[in-house]
Amino acid sequence: MAQIRVIRRRIAAVGTIQRITKTMQMIATAKFTTAVQRAKAAQPYSQKVRQLVGEVVSAAGDLQHPLVDGPADSPKRELLLVISSDRGFCGAFNANVLREALSHVRALKQSGLNLDLETSGKKAVGVFNFRRIPIAHKHLFGDKPDYAEIEHLADRYIAEFSDGKYDAVRVAYMQFITNSRQVPQLVQLLPLKPEAAQAAETPTADALYDFSPSSEEILDDLLPLTVKTTLYQAFLDASVSEQIMRMIAMKSATENASDVHKMLKRKYNRARQAQITTELMEVISGAAALE
């Protein structure tokens, strides 16, 4: 009888877990639908801005700009922004991003460069605190990053990089490619290298342009915009990747809970049948003893 009560309690507990994971899966699905719409809506604009920068740079010829060339005197310091999640239960999302970031941190230490580390999301804070790696700034942008907040952050990065504080500004995040593929990325946000990265991708890079105002003035607007849109797209990709990986993880957890529930139900039925058989045998034995 005690064994049956234990199995019954386990069945109830597994059923509760199954309902929770199913609810979390549905919530993640709804958030993923919203996030992927935002990411796909912003992606064409980001691509066109980078394409336009490539065309202008190719047409302008020699380009000297602080956001492209970097500081004249190297400060031997980099800035790394790590985008993680605030909550868990999202599969290998945080583990993959943090593995990429920690690998870069180790490489910087070996090369003798200093690092200013910034994080977005509570999970990254916990990992770096555990490893006793100091964090310069901690950001919390939530599931729906606002462009105005990201723009403010990008403006600070641009100002500090232009002042010669950093050799490079990099972002570690999870890039969303398709629903079945998300890849951890370490992207160089600054300095920009549009002549190498964009001109090769732009089929109209050899077109003739007549600039008004000058190409330098145009790039003074376009290059900061490229930094902002690239950073914003990174946050959007990270948000989409987090939700889809949580959705998959919770779907797998729900299916596992269902399998455990079925196994416990069979075990309960066998234990209950054994108890009934024992009780019948006792009744028969007692009746036989009275004859």
**Using one digit for the tens of pLDDT, what is the confidence trace for 111-148?**
888 999 999 989 999 999 999 999 999 999 888 888 99
| Mean pLDDT across 24-32 | 90
Residues recorded for the chain: 291
28 vs 31: CA distance, rounded Å: 5
Q: Could you tell me the pLDDT band of residue 26, with boundaries at 50, 70 and 90?
A: very high
Q: Name all domains of the chain by residue range, CATH numbers in brackets.
A: 25-248 (3.40.1380.10)
Interaxial angle between packed helices 122-130 and 93-111, expressed in degrees from 0 to 180 and rounded to the nearest 10 = 50
Task: Calculate Rg over the CA atoms of the chain.
Answer: 28
Q: Say yes or no to pLDDT of 221 above 60.
A: yes
CB 123 within 8 A of CB 101: no
Confidence category of residue 211, pLDDT binned at 50, 70, 90: low
Judge whether residue 263 has pLDDT over 60.
yes
CA-based end-to-end distance of the chain: 29
- Tokens 């970097």 correspond to 70
Separation of CA 171 from chain center: 11
How do 181-190 and 137-139 pair as beta strands? unpaired
Q: Mean pLDDT, to the nearest integer, of 272-277?
A: 83
What is the model's pLDDT at position 195?
44
Q: Which of 176, 146, 143 is nearest to 245 (CA)?
A: 176
Report whether pLDDT(200) > 60. no
Quickly state the pLDDT bin for 218 (edges 50, 70, 90).
confident
- Please identify which residue in the block is written with the tokens 């919530």: 27
pLDDT in tens, 179-197: 888 999 999 998 886 543 4
Higher model confidence: residue 197 or residue 157?
Answer: 157
Residue 210 pLDDT class (50, 70, 90 cuts)? low
Strand partners, 184: 174
| Three-state secondary-structure class, residue 34 | helix
According to the model, what pLDDT value does residue 201 have?
Answer: 45
Cβ–Cβ under 8 Å, residues 22 and 258: no
pTM of the model: 0.82
Residue in 98, 84, 24, 122 with CA at minimum distance from that of residue 241: 84
Q: What is the pLDDT of residues 40-73, one digit of tens each?
A: 888 888 888 887 777 776 666 666 777 887 787 8
Chain centroid offset of residue 255 CA: 24
CA distance 135 to 138: 7
What average pLDDT does range 257-261 have in this prediction?
Answer: 92
CA–CA separation, 3 and 132 (whole Å): 47
Q: Tell me, what's the pLDDT at 203?
A: 46
Average the pLDDT over each of 57-61, 98-102, 106-110, 155-159 and give the range with the smallest value.
57-61
Q: Is the pLDDT of residue 199 over 70?
A: no
Q: Between 236 and 50, whose confidence is greater?
A: 236
